[in-house]
Amino acid sequence: MAELNTGDGGGKGKKVRSKKSNPGVDLTAMVDLAFLLITFFMLTTSLSKPQAMPLPMPDKDKPEQPKDNTKIPEDRMMTILIGQDNKILWYMGQFETPRIPPTEASFGKNGIRKDLLKNVQLGKQVAANEGKPDQGLIVNIKASDAASYKNLVDILDEMAITKPQLFALGDITPGEIDLLEKTGLLTPVAK
């Protein structure tokens, strides 16, 4: 019969001894693979679930309803205007008489975040001086038509990080559009 000899000393008249093979199989590679797949499935099942950002909006103004005449404390009101190319312009107070004049900022940790954190502190101080320690900064977000949806989510995200007392999405006014166009944050649309 055909014989397969491996090793050198096979043919020297020694007793043919059946080799005692180890009954255990090396499972290392198999376990590695199994854990790799587990990791993959665990991450894809929990991470692929979409995140959601709850967004409460104010009631739409209805003409028959009486206007709410609560005065907005302008000392701690911040308005954020979003222009084109991910650029932001913000000011404190009213548009005609801003407490802090319009300032340009960018998105992200070193941009609007710093300004926001500063203003949140300021708002808290002002509110404390007014005798309302539970209140703080009020942010009004106004995006121009050149803004993208990502800008909106980014700025809402900043709100979630810096936590002002209140924030709302507002409609941009023609005056504010003019301002954005003057500062070069918005290309004028030919009318």
Nearer to other proteins by C-beta: 10 or 188?
188
Burial of 180 (0-12, 13-18, 19+ CB in 10 A): buried
How far apart CA 117 and CA 163 sit, in angstroms, is: 9
- Residue 96, C-beta contacts closer than 8 angstroms, at least 6 positions apart: none
Q: How far is the CB of 24 from other proteins (least distance, A)?
A: 7
Among 121, 148, 173, 187, which residue sits at the site for other proteins (rule: CB under 8 A)?
148
Determine, following the binding rule CB under 8 A, whether residue 166 of this chain makes contact with other proteins.
Answer: no
Among 21, 51, 69, 97, binds other proteins (CB under 8 A): 51
Distances (CA, A) of 55 to 58, 156, 157: 10, 9, 11
Q: What end-to-end distance do the CA atoms of the chain give, in Å?
A: 98
| Options 12, 16, 145, 191; binder of other proteins; rule CB under 8 A | 145
Does 189 bind other proteins (CB under 8 A)? Our answer is: no
What gap in Å lies between CA 119 and CA 183, rounded to an integer?
Answer: 22
Query: Is residue 163 part of the contact set for other proteins (CB under 8 A)?
Result: no
- Coil/strand/helix, residue 135: coil
190 binds other proteins (CB under 8 A): no
Least distance from other proteins to the Cβ atom of residue 140, Å: 15
CA distance 89 to 26: 64
Can you tell me which of 149, 174, 189, 190 binds other proteins, judged by CB under 8 A?
Answer: 149
Query: Is the CB of residue 117 less than 8 Å from the CB of residue 160?
Result: no
Question: Taking CB under 8 A as the rule, does residue 151 contact other proteins?
Answer: yes
Provide, rounded to whole angstroms, the least separation between the CB of residue 146 and other proteins.
8
CA distance 52 to 87: 25
User: Could you say which residues in the range 55-94 bind other proteins, by CB under 8 A?
Assistant: 55-60, 82
- Stretch near other proteins under the rule CB under 8 A, chosen from 9-17, 50-58, 90-98, 130-138: 50-58
Contacts of 13 (CB under 8 A, 6+ apart): none
Residues at the interface with other proteins (CB under 8 A): 24, 26-28, 30-31, 34-35, 37-38, 41-42, 44-45, 47-60, 82, 108-109, 143-154, 156-157, 160-161, 169
